[in-house]
């Protein structure tokens, strides 16, 4: 296909891919595999933790966590991190991405868990009761992390949430925090982010670098112009 007939989105994504590959070769060229992964992870990571412990929370506290999506191994790590932060009193409410479909068999139910039931069960194992969990339906979108940021930020504002604590894989923290910050232009939400040590190979990390660059070069500028896709 010639560029004359390519949609602008495809052209920009291909340009982004070339720029990212050149950037990776320039910055990380000659690195051994382990060093490359470490450097890529560091570049993709953001850490914005609560410095001062809150003075406890009440049952109607508007502060909330949001657990971003992922596969089950990733989600187990994120759920453990949320359990730790919940026990420390960082926030009470847990927003969790709704995922349709079923997963492993649950003997006590005599059927397979739905994905949401599986998540609720693992959150319960970390000391988080069902009343403090709310599953968030995010419309399907090509840029899924930004779609999550829009939907969850809107819900948090509606509920009067002030402190929103994001939990995701470490190498996904930069794109996540950038996306939520883009949806927080008036600063009404205090955003914090915690990353889990999810295993990722160099290919996955380079792909994440490409996504981050695409968000910065394409998604955010178009969103500021009111164009969404």
CA distances from 181 to 65, 158, 191, 192, 220 (A): 15, 17, 8, 10, 10
What is the rounded CA–CA span in Å between residue 214 and residue 199? 23
> To the nearest 10°, the Cα dihedral for 174, 226, 155, 90?
30
Cα-based angle 197, 202, 205 (whole degrees, multiple of 5): 65
Give, for all 229 residues of the chain, the pLDDT tens digit. Answer: 444 555 555 555 555 555 555 555 545 555 555 676 788 888 899 998 987 655 555 545 579 999 998 889 999 999 999 999 999 989 989 999 999 999 989 898 899 999 999 999 999 999 999 999 999 999 888 899 999 999 999 999 999 999 999 999 999 999 999 999 999 988 999 999 999 998 888 888 888 998 998 999 889 999 988 887 6
The encoded tokens of residue 63 equal: 């502060």
What is the rounded CA–CA span in Å between residue 66 and residue 50? 15
Nearest residue to 64 via CA among 140, 152, 143: 152
All structural domains of the chain, each given as residue ranges with its CATH number in brackets, are: 47-198 (3.40.50.620)
Strand-pairing partners, residue 64, are: 93, 164
Contact call for residues 131 and 160 (beta carbons, < 8 A):
no
Give the pTM.
0.81
What SS3 state is found at 140?
coil
What SS3 state is found at 6?
coil
Contact call for residues 180 and 164 (beta carbons, < 8 A):
yes
Cα dihedral across residues 142, 145, 150, 156: positive or negative: positive
Quote the DSSP letter at residue 41. Answer: H
What is the rounded CA–CA span in Å between residue 26 and residue 78? 33
């Amino acid at each position: 296909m010639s560029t004359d007939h390519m949609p602008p989105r495809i052209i920009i994504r291909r340009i982004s891919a070339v720029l990212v590959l050149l950037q990776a070769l320039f910055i990380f060229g000659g690195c051994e595999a382990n060093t490359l992964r470490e450097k890529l992870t560091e570049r993709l990571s953001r850490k914005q933790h609560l410095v001062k412990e809150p003075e406890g929370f009440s049952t109607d506290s508007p502060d909330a966590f949001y657990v971003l999506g992922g596969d089950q191994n990733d989600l187990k790590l994120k759920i453990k991190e949320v359990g730790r932060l919940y026990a420390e009193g960082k926030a009470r409410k847990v927003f969790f991405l709704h995922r349709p479909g079923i997963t492993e068999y649950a003997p006590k139910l005599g059927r397979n868990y739905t994905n949401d039931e599986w998540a609720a069960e693992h959150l319960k194992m970390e000391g988080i009761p069902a009343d403090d969990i709310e599953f968030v339906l995010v419309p399907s979108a090509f840029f899924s992390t930004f779609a999550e940021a829009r939907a969850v930020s809107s819900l948090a504002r509606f509920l009067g949430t002030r402190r929103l604590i994001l939990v995701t894989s470490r190498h996904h923290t930069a794109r996540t925090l950038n996306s939520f910050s883009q949806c927080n232009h008036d600063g009404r939400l205090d955003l914090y982010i915690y990353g889990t040590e999810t295993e990722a190979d160099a290919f996955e990390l380079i792909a994440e670098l490409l996504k981050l660059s695409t968000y910065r070069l394409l998604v955010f500028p178009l969103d500021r112009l009111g164009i969404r896709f």
